[in-house]
Amino acid sequence: MKTLLAILLAALALPAAAADGAAVYGQRCVACHQAGGVGAPGLAPPLAGQLAPRLATEEGRAYFPRVLVSGLSGPIKVGEERFMGVMPSFAQLDDEELAAVLNTVMGEYNAAGLPAGHRPYEAADIAAARAEKLAPHQVLALRKKVLAALGGKP
């Protein structure tokens, strides 16, 4: 009995395991954005190979946590394909989980284009987006602003 109690107390003293971004993506994102972030025509845009240029500016970097926390609604265009839909908010997930999924999407699906000095997302980045309490249409307006700064590229 003392051994069991000691094991339980030791387990409680361990730091919480880091969120697994690939697992979160597999549970929450893959149904629409598909394995590897390739997207689903007419439903969800591709994430792979599309996002890294936006990380070159602080405004572009701050955009992604806003999408996850607030959602996104309205028409968007990626390449020559148009999407009209709604990206739901994932505000029900904690900051660590959302940071982990962003790091997975950026690190696994956009690694080739990451700007020099790119730093992984942290829970504080998600918390800052959460504090803004934006509506999905406001996130769409931010998307347009970020893309305009990049010359209109998706």
Q: Is residue 8 part of a domain?
A: no
Q: Is residue 14 part of a domain?
A: no
Number of domains in the chain: 1
Q: Is residue 27 part of a domain?
A: yes
Q: Is residue 11 part of a domain?
A: no
For the stretch 129-150, pLDDT in tens is 999 999 999 999 999 999 999 8
| The pLDDT of residue 147 | 93
CB atoms closer than 10 angstroms to residue 101: 27
Taking the C-alpha atoms of residue 107 and residue 120, their distance in angstroms, rounded to an integer, is: 9
Give pLDDT tens digits along the chain (154 positions): 544 334 434 433 333 446 899 999 999 999 999 999 999 998 999 999 999 999 989 999 999 999 999 999 999 999 889 998 899 999 999 999 999 999 999 999 999 999 988 999 999 999 999 999 999 999 999 999 999 998 876 6
Among candidate residues 70, 67, 76, the one with its CA nearest the CA of residue 154 = 76
81-97: buried (b, 16+ CB within 10 Å) or exposed (e) per residue?
A: eebeeebebbeebebbb
Domain of 88, CATH number, reads: 1.10.760.10
Taking the C-alpha atoms of residue 21 and residue 100, their distance in angstroms, rounded to an integer, is: 4
Q: Retrieve residue 35's tokens.
A: 């394995």
| The pLDDT of residue 14 | 34
Q: Is residue 59 part of a domain?
A: yes
Q: Is residue 71 part of a domain?
A: yes
Taking the C-alpha atoms of residue 142 and residue 9, their distance in angstroms, rounded to an integer, is: 47
Q: Is residue 55 part of a domain?
A: yes
8 Å CB contact between 104 and 22: yes
**Which 3 state secondary structure label does DSSP give 79?**
coil
Q: Domain of residue 63: give its range.
A: 20-112+123-149
| The pLDDT of residue 51 | 93
Q: Is residue 90 part of a domain?
A: yes
